[in-house]
């Protein structure tokens, strides 16, 4: 079981921080809400940084 990042779209405010910091992992959808485009696009440490930095606490890990 690997853990992958997950964006709770109900919590995301669309601030874009995660997309700016890790564009290899996150992107904004058509509604300007973040989504994961490549869960393996960065190291676990880098993704944890995006989780810690999300002002809405909208990103978390889930088991894939
Ligand atoms: Fe949404 Fe958090 Fe990413 Fe901002 S940092 S776009 S609130 S998931």
Q: Is the CB of 47 under 6 A from ligand 1?
A: no
Q: What is the CATH number of the domain that holds 16?
A: 3.30.70.20
Q: Is the CB of 12 under 6 A from ligand 1?
A: yes
pLDDT at residue 1 is higher than 80: no
Please classify residue 48 by burial: count the beta carbons closer than 10 Å to its beta carbon, then call 0-12 exposed, 13-18 middle and 19+ buried: middle
pLDDT at residue 6 is higher than 90: yes
**pLDDT band for position 13 (50/70/90)?**
very high
Buried b / exposed e along 49-58 (16+ C-beta atoms within 10 A): ebbeebebeb
**What range defines the domain where residue 38 resides?**
3-63
3-state helix, strand, coil in the chain (%, to 5): 25, 25, 50
Mean pLDDT for 3-29 is 98
- CA of residue 42 to ligand 1 center, whole Å: 16
Say how many C-beta atoms besides its own lie within 10 A of residue 38's C-beta: 14
Q: How many domains does the chain have?
A: 1
Instruction: Give the distance, in angstroms, between the CA of residue 13 and the centroid of all CA atoms in the same chain.
Output: 12
**pLDDT band for position 2 (50/70/90)?**
confident
């Amino acid at each position: 079981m690997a853990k992958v990042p997950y964006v709770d779209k109900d919590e995301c405010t669309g601030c874009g921080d995660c997309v700016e910091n890790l564009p290899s992992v996150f992107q904004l959808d058509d509604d300007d809400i973040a989504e994961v485009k490549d869960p393996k696009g960065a190291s676990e440490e880098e993704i944890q940084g995006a989780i810690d930095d999300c002002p809405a606490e909208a990103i978390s890990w889930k088991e894939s």
